[in-house]
Every structure is written in structure tokens, then in C-alpha cells.
């Protein structure tokens, strides 16, 4: 299936579908002015984005919801055209806390359901199945799961809904080749966060790795196609059928990041970009290093 700006959804294993590019909405609250998230989401919907990635813990779901509702009221989009992904944070995994936390997201957004709800870290899925049965969630997914953790879920007795997606760090410097192969074998879509690298905050970023967007190959290919290094990096992943959710509150970047459907990379160019892989992540997950199933030093 050819992906276009107007039609860029790919199927999920439960019969639903996911747009292959979305807008990430995480930002550090202290560094983000109030209203900037709302403005960015509205612009993204005007540009043609259908997929918004957020979380209650980001503290801006109210702005995301306002933006969506205003665009619906304008007639720019319909609710069924929008794909919203929310997240269950790791402090709310007790079964009795799952639905109330999801309901906080729905209240902040003022929406009846979310399209995808993912477990932020490797924990059990079972408590979320009732939320899907109740119509509060269309699809269930996971985040930061490696192959072993996915196998534990897939082989769990009584599993009602297998995860349709796995959101992980993925970009030309961390291509996740083995994990991608495993997920494709099991009909699980990879969703790439930090597909353009990330900020250089040493508190949570491995700054020993050079900035992705300054890479010589990505920039040379950008010149060939009259594109930016960022657009080349995003195109690389969507040609691998990986969903990308670049975060930006910059109007120019939001527009540029979406302009990736009017060119394609050759097979040789794809192989050249794959060869940039360093098998080292940028986003430091040491926050969860005391978790009993923490093996994040392994390749996903």
C-alpha cells in the first residue's frame, strides 16, 4: 500500500488502524509556555496529522483535548479521523488504579475513548482488558518491551487481547532490527519515539552520541531529495513500516515533519542508513533499573 499525506494508516492486528506519523506532545513543563501544546496540536491537525501521542503525566492533555474539540467544531476533522494514544504510567499498575487513571485522561481530553492505550513499562496487560471491553479504549499496546517481555505477554494463559503495538526508541542510530523482525512476525506494530534523536538534556539523554540530525549521510541524502536530515530520518522508518511520532512545538518543523510522502529512498540508501546503527539508545531508562524485569541493556 502506498502511503500518502491523505491516506497513511497501516493496519493493527485487532482490525483497527494507526496513522504512520503522529505528533508527539511531551515537553518539560517548566520550559513550555501555557497554550503552546494546544497551538501545536491545532496546527498539526490543519497540516494533515491524524495521530496525536500524549499522556496524562505530560500535564497537557487538557490542551490536546481543547485543540481536538475546536477542530471538530470547525468541521476540519471528525473524531473518528483522529487517533489519540494515551499511556498508563508505572505508578498506576495496580488493577484497581488502572481505570481511574484512564478516566483522568478521558476527563482531561473530554473524549469518550482513546484509540490506543499503552503500558509505559513492562507490566501485566490484564487490568486494561476490562477498559477495552467497556469501550474506553479501542486498542491496547505496550512501550519499552523487549523480545523476552513480549514473549511473556504473548504466552500468558488467558490473554484476551494481545498488544497491537510496542512503542520504543527507534532511529537510524538505534534501528531495533531484531525487535522489528520479532514484532513483524507477531503482527505487532513498532511505534518509534525520538525518531529524530532527542534533546541534549544530560539528566536523561546519552550525550556521548553525536546529534543524529548532523549526520553526514542523512544530510547528503537530504540535499539529493531537497529534504532535511529530519525528513530523511523519518522517511527511513516509515519505509520500514514503523510509525513515527516526532515531537515538535515549532510550526515550521511540524509542517516539515509531515512532508515525507512525496519522495522515497532507494534500497541502497535504506541499507546505507541502516549501517549507521550504533545499537546504543539516546534515552536513558535508568529510572526503572531497579525493576525485576529490567534488562534494558539488551538490544530490543
Judge whether 58 counts as a catalytic residue.
yes
What is residue 204's predicted lDDT score, i.e. its pLDDT?
Answer: 61
Q: Which member of 56, 58, 117, 173 is catalytic? A: 58
Confidence grade of residue 89 (pLDDT, cut at 50, 70, 90): confident
Q: What are the structural domains of the chain?
A: 9-284 (3.20.20.100)
What is residue 215's predicted lDDT score, i.e. its pLDDT?
Answer: 96
Which tops the pLDDT comparison, 290 or 52?
52
Q: What is the pLDDT of residues 39-70, one digit of tens each?
A: 999 999 999 999 999 999 999 999 999 999 99
Confidence grade of residue 288 (pLDDT, cut at 50, 70, 90): very low
Q: What is the pLDDT of residues 127-138, one digit of tens each?
A: 889 999 999 999
Nearest to 172 by CA among 220, 228, 224, 213: 213
Distance of alpha carbon 141 from the chain centroid:
11
First to last CA, the chain: 27
Confidence grade of residue 290 (pLDDT, cut at 50, 70, 90): very low
Q: What is the pLDDT of residues 239-270, one digit of tens each?
A: 999 999 999 999 999 999 999 999 999 999 99
What is residue 93's predicted lDDT score, i.e. its pLDDT?
Answer: 67
- For residues 113 and 136, the answer to whether their CB atoms sit within 8 Å is yes
Whole-number mean pLDDT of the chain?
Answer: 90
- pTM of the prediction? 0.92
What is residue 295's predicted lDDT score, i.e. its pLDDT?
Answer: 41
Other Cβ atoms less than 10 A from the Cβ of 2: the count is: 7
Which residues are CB-neighbours of 62 under 8 A, at least 6 positions away? 108, 109
Kindly report the three-state secondary structure assignment for every residue of the chain. CCCCCCCCEEECCCCCEEECEEEECCCCHHHCCCCHHHHHHHHHHHHCCCEEECCHHHCCHHHHHHHHHHHHHHCCCCHHHCEEEEEECCCCCCHHHHHHHHHHHHHHHCCCCEEEEEECCCCCCHHHHHHHHCCCEEEEEEECCCHHHHHHHHCCCCCCCCCCEEEEECECCECCHHHHHHHHHCCCEEEEECECECCCCCCCECCCCCCHHHCHHHHHHHHHHCCCHHHHHHHHHHCCCCEECCECCCHHHHHHHHCCCCCCCCHHHHHHHHCCCCCCCCECCHHHCCCCCCCCCCCC
Amino acid at each position: 500500500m502506498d502511503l500518502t499525506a491523505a491516506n497513511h494508516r497501516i493496519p493493527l492486528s485487532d482490525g483497527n488502524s494507526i496513522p504512520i506519523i503522529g505528533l508527539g506532545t511531551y515537553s518539560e513543563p517548566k520550559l513550555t509556555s501555557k497554550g503552546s501544546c494546544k497551538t501545536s496540536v491545532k496546527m498539526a491537525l490543519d497540516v494533515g496529522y491524524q495521530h496525536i501521542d500524549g499522556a496524562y503525566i505530560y500535564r497537557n492533555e487538557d490542551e490536546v483535548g481543547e485543540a481536538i474539540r475546536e477542530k471538530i467544531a470547525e468541521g476540519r476533522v471528525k473524531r473518528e479521523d483522529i487517533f489519540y494514544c494515551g499511556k498508563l504510567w508505572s505508578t498506576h499498575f495496580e488493577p484497581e488504579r488502572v481505570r481511574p487513571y484512564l478516566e483522568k485522561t478521558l476527563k482531561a481530553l473530554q473524549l469518550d475513548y482513546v484509540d490506543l492505550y499503552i503500558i509505559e513499562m513492562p507490566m501485566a496487560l490484564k487490568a486494561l482488558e476490562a477498559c477495552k471491553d467497556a469501550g474506553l479504549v479501542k486498542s491496547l499496546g505496550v512501550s519499552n518491551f523487549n523480545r523476552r517481555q513480549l514473549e511473556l505477554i504473548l504466552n500468558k494463559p488467558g490473554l484476551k487481547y494481545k498488544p497491537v503495538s510496542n512503542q520504543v526508541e527507534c532511529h537510524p542510530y538505534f534501528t531495533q532490527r531484531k525487535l522489528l523482525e520479532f514484532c513483524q512476525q507477531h503482527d505487532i506494530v513498532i511505534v518509534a519515539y525520538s525518531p529524530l534523536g532527542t534533546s541534549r538534556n544530560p539528566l536523561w539523554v546519552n550525550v556521548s552520541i553525536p546529534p543524529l540530525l548532523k549526520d553526514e549521510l542523512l544530510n547528503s541524502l537530504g540535499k539529493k531529495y531537497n529534504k532535511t536530515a529530519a525528513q530523511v530520518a523519518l522517511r527511513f522508518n516509515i519505509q520500514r513500516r514503523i510509525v513515527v511520532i516526532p515531537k515538535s512545538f515549532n510550526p515550521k518543523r511540524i509542517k516539515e515533519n509531515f512532508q515525507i510522502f512525496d519522495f522515497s529512498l532507494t534500497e541502497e540508501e535504506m541499507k546505507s542508513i541502516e549501517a549507521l546503527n550504533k545499537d546504543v539508545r539516546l534515552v536513558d531508562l535508568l529510572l526503572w533499573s531497579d525493576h525485576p524485569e529490567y534488562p534494558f541493556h539488551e538490544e530490543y
